[in-house]
Each structure stands twice: as C-alpha cells, then as structure tokens.
Amino acid sequence: MTQTCGFVAIVGRPNVGKSTLMNRILGQKVSITSRRPQTTRHQVMGIKTEDDAQFIYVDTPGIHIQTRDRNKAINRFMNQAASQALRDVDCVVFIVDRTRWSDEDQVVLERLEHVKAPVILAVNKVDRLQDKRALLPWLDSVGARRDFAAIVPVSAKHGTNVPELEAEVAKHLSEGPHHFPDDQITDKSQRFLAAELVREKIMRQLGDELPYQMTVEIEEFRDEGKVVHISALILVERAGQKKILIGENGERIKTIGREARLEMERLLDAKVMLNLWVKVKRGWSDNERALKSLGYHLD
C-alpha cells in the first residue's frame, strides 16, 4: 500500500483543550495540561503512525490578543510560535470551546484566512453542554464564518468523536514516505519533557497564585540506566514569588517535586532522583536574549 504522511497544526485560543486533544489522539501525555490559559509555550510535535499513515500533529500555544499585560517578549514568542506552525501544513484543526465564540476565536479565524490548507473545526467540551439542543443551530451559524473542510463536535477529555476527527484529518494526508520512525511519539527530548512536567505541576498547584513569570530549566539530566538524576532550576521574577513557590517549611516545593518525580518515572520507566532549585531572575520573561538562552526559540 502507498504510504501517506502529513503535518497537522492544532490551533485555537488559550485553554480550549489543544494539548488534551493531542494527548488523547496519541494515547499518552506529550503536551502538559492545566486549567490555566497559556500552559503550552512551545510547538510540541506528536507523532502517530497507524499502518501506512503517519500523522504529525503540532500542538501550539494559544493565539491570544496582546494587551498591555500580555505584551511581554514571551507573549510575542507564543503568538509567533503558533503562527509559524501554520506554514506548510497539510491540514489545520481549529479548536473552539462549545457554543462560545470570543474575540480571541475571531483572531484565530482571521489568522487562518491566508492558510491554504483545509481547516477542520473541532468543537470541544460538548460533554459539558447544558442544553444539547443548542449545538446544532450553533454549528450552522459557525459554519457560515468559513468554508470548513469539516465540523466535528468532540470531547478531548473523554474521547467522544475523536476517532471521527482523526478520520477527517486522514483525508488530507499526502502520499509519500513517513518522516519519522513508526515507534517515535514526539520530536521533543526527555530533557524537555522533564522540564515541562515540573512546570505543569507548578501551574496546577499555583495557577491562581503564581503569575506566568515562571519557567523551568534542566541543569542536569544523567541517565545511569536504572536511575536518572535530574536537577531542575525554577526561575521566577520576584522574591515574593519564590517564597510562594517554596511554601511554608518547604512543603509546597516538596509536593511539586514528588508529583513531578512520579510522572517522570512513568515517562522514563526508571527511578528518578529529582532536585529542584528556585532562583529569582528579574525580567526574564520580557528579555528576548534571556528567552533564547532558556530554550524559547522558533524551530
């Protein structure tokens, strides 16, 4: 049989379930998730190979309107990363949240005006709709906004209609050889995934208390076979943020470390010795040179 392969950009405003959808499709966690907007900061590639078809999904940061408080270098980087992912793809999956249509959804739609690839609209979180009867009229109205290749109501969390969405994506793959080995799941290194897991646990613990001026850098990643030694540096911008992160008697940082370590052990299938450090680095999130040194650069 002829092999098919294609790049599929997953786009949408912040917090609509892009990472949850990709993890559901892959059957394992590649992108971190939390209830906080803008959890995803990088393009993260998820690769799924089934028989002769290879789907290369690109999870992207949420495209957002840059206001005064969201106009730092890191916000600009995230919007650029999302826009870059739209180049040269075979298909786009545009995710929206139920029957809501916000100004940021409109911004994403406008970004897609010049995209030549077919766009599939995935209406997510339909399991949480109070009145299911409102869905069909809304699908008709949103369908008038663009000539979508398909409109598929889904629940990324529970998997509802996700196979149907994948079947629609499969129609737009191109004939050609696979770009990655059949057993490869992502283009990201274990080192990158370890840093992301620490950041996920921080955001889940402190999403309401700690602003987005926080990042994680892996300073040591030493694989000794049965044991992996990891040292992670958590950067914040103010001393008060450091205090919140560490918690009383260090309890909060211990909880974050324990949760991250357990998930790393599942990911790496090895015992993990994890050390966390917290350091204040003022202004890193609005300093392009600092961002590049911390791994925030476009592929």
Say whether 127 counts as a known binding-site residue. Answer: yes
- For 58, residues 6+ apart whose C-beta sits below 8 A from its C-beta are 7, 8, 9, 10, 43, 44, 45, 46, 85, 89
Say whether 18 counts as a known binding-site residue. Answer: yes
Tell me the CATH number at 133: 3.40.50.300
Say whether 142 counts as a known binding-site residue. Answer: no
Per residue in 16-27, is it b (16+ CB within 10 Å) or e — as a string?
bbbbbbbbbbbe
Residue 43 domain flag: yes
pLDDT given for residue 40 in this prediction: 75
Say whether 14 counts as a known binding-site residue. Answer: yes
Say whether 123 counts as a known binding-site residue. Answer: no
pLDDT given for residue 289 in this prediction: 87
Say whether 60 counts as a known binding-site residue. Answer: yes
Q: How many CB atoms lie within 10 A of CB 30?
A: 23
Helix axes 251-268, 190-206, angle to 10 degrees: 140
Tell me: do 158 and 16 sit in the same domain. Answer: yes
Tell me: do 214 and 168 sit in the same domain. Answer: no
Say whether 182 counts as a known binding-site residue. Answer: no
CA distance 61 to 244: 26
pLDDT given for residue 299 in this prediction: 63
Say whether 59 counts as a known binding-site residue. Answer: yes
Say whether 63 counts as a known binding-site residue. Answer: yes
Tell me: do 253 and 151 sit in the same domain. Answer: no
CA distance 93 to 24: 14
Q: What domain range includes position 235?
A: 190-294
**Which strand (E) or helix (H) includes residue 168?**
helix 162-170
For 217-267, what is each residue's pLDDT tens digit? 999 999 998 899 999 999 999 999 999 999 999 999 999 999 999 999 999
Closest listed residue to residue 25, CA positions, set 41, 10, 3, 42: 10
pLDDT given for residue 71 in this prediction: 61
What six digits make up the tokens of 9? Answer: 């950009």
Tell me: do 194 and 123 sit in the same domain. Answer: no
Say whether 49 counts as a known binding-site residue. Answer: no
Give me the phi and psi of 252, to 5 degrees please.
-70, -45
| Domains of the chain: total | 2
Helix axes 251-268, 239-246, angle to 10 degrees: 70
Tell me: do 26 and 158 sit in the same domain. Answer: yes
Tell me: do 159 and 284 sit in the same domain. Answer: no
Say whether 62 counts as a known binding-site residue. Answer: yes
Say whether 12 counts as a known binding-site residue. Answer: yes
Residue 111 domain flag: yes
Say whether 23 counts as a known binding-site residue. Answer: no
pTM above 0.75, yes or no: yes
For 159-194, what is each residue's pLDDT tens digit? 999 999 999 999 999 999 999 999 999 999 999 999
Tell me the CATH number at 206: 3.30.300.20
State how far the alpha carbon of 81 is from the alpha carbons of 59, 69, 195, in Å: 10, 19, 19
Last residue in a domain, options 112, 144, 175? 175
Which residues of the chain register pLDDT less than 70? Answer: 64-71, 208-209, 211-212, 299
Tell me: do 26 and 156 sit in the same domain. Answer: yes
